[in-house]
Amino acid sequence: MKTYGIIGAGLAGCEAAWQLAQAGHDVVLYEMKPHRFSLAHHSEDLAELVCSNSFRSAEPETGIGLLKLEMSELGSLVMDVAKGTEVPAGKALAVDRERFAREMTRRVLEHPRITLVRREIQSLDELDGQGHDALIVAAGPLASDALSADLARIVGRDSLAFYDAIAPIVLTESVDTDTAFWASRYAPEDKDYLNCPMTEEQYLAFVRALIDGEKVAPREFEKEMHFEGCLPIEVMAERGEMTLAFGPLKPVGLTDPRTGRQPFAVVQLRAENLEKTAMNMVGFQTKLKYGEQKRIFAMIPGLEHAEFLRLGSIHRNTYVLAPEALTPTLELKNRPRTYLAGQISGVEGYLESAATGLWLGLHLAGNTDLPPQETALGALLSHLRTPAKHFQPSNVHFGLMPALNRKAPKKKRKELYAQRAREVWKAWLEKD
């Protein structure tokens, strides 16, 4: 039996702690809340979801859908709790974020081998001599300035930073349902999304307003770099008049019951909780100033008098250059027996972060080695050890996997990638 110290009780930290504890090891989990909150955190609960409440597609022929299957088969705490707190979201897996965090907190607190210490760790040296056989840093993209600076000192160069943007949440009863309608894409009978239809004229006026709206400027010492998979809505608008219409506002598969036709564009709202009393504006992460958000979003049909339970905001996201700073097993090259997990290690996304914590916990417990790159988890971990001139965090996707090396129609390729991934994963599980 060993004792592990883990800094950060987010998705990756809780997942790593759970796997180590389940394997019979003792874990001391350090969490700075409630003594100190980041700009994006508000709850004292562990594993707080600060951006969307969606874990994205559950389709097995997507990279993230495959990752869900693989995590579940490895005994993921996050996946187990997510399934127990799920809210309707069409073909995606979304959760009631408050229930999710409460249940994650309860599970962790009740585990006899996990000790939660509410304390901010500003330097890794603080934990030297505390009896930890190894240390896991899972402080997340919002690691404190002090801890980020200490990590930068250790890896030998500055950490990189880019901005993550958070989408607003709307009170459902404040949405005008004489205009907005319930439906999922290609399934008008489903009530998973509340859809706000736009005419071409309304859409173009909205795009112009987004471009002209006043934004929150980055501080002088922070470089503004956006992750391509989570661009602010106004940044997408600046890339072209029709970018949003082919992106988060695409109307494909939706029919406005008032007209019987597909709208020119659609703003979708996704349920935040089972009661559907709160709705998340899908794809509407933003760095617009609060007053501008209220003014511009009121231009959306159905949201003219919307009440915002939370407005959008931006926050710094810190991560290391994984191929340079980490070994293939996520150990810091310059500090043996110290590992990174979660977004700070160079992945992007809720489940990708949790997956690194899951795998690292299992690996340190001696239960698994690196999975093949043909699998979703293996591809994600491979990204962290692949040299790149301009390394950037990544979600899991088929592009991280080895090529199929066979000709196939475009529509068939995802199916073939998924089929190969499942076959290789099964063989690896049975061998491991």
Query: What is the 3-state secondary structure of 340-361?
Result: ECCHHHCECCHHHHHHHHHHHH
Residue type, 48: E
Output the pLDDT for position 103: 98
Q: What is the pLDDT, as a whole number, of residue 222?
A: 42
Residues of the chain short of pLDDT 70, as ranges, are 37-41, 157-165, 218-230, 315-316, 389-390, 410, 432
| Neighbouring residues of 405: CB distance < 8 A, sequence distance ≥ 6 | none
The structure tokens listed for 61 are 């022929």
The answer to whether residues 340 and 137 touch, using CB atoms and an 8 Å cutoff, is: yes
Quick: pLDDT tens for 33-57: 887 766 656 788 999 998 789 999 9
Residue pair 314/165 in contact by the 8 Å Cβ criterion: yes
Residue 165 is predicted with a pLDDT of: 64
Confidence (pTM):
0.74
Q: Which helix H or strand E contains 423, and what residues bound it?
A: helix 410-431
Q: 403: Cβ–Cβ under 8 A, 6 or more apart, which residues?
A: none
* Alpha-carbon gap, residue 150 to 385, rounded angstroms: 22
Q: What are phi and psi of 248, to 5 degrees?
A: -65, -15
Q: Which amino acid is at 60?
A: P
* Amino acid letter, residue 230: C
Answer left, alpha or beta for residue 56, where phi above 0 means left and psi between -120 and 50 means alpha: left
Q: How many Cβ atoms from other residues are within 10 Å of residue 401's Cβ?
A: 23
Burial class (CB in 10 A: 0-12, 13-18, 19+), 291: exposed
Question: Each residue of 111-161: pLDDT tens digit?
Answer: 999 999 999 999 999 999 899 999 999 997 778 878 888 888 898 765 555
- 8-state DSSP, 209: H
* pLDDT tens column, 269-278: 998 877 888 8
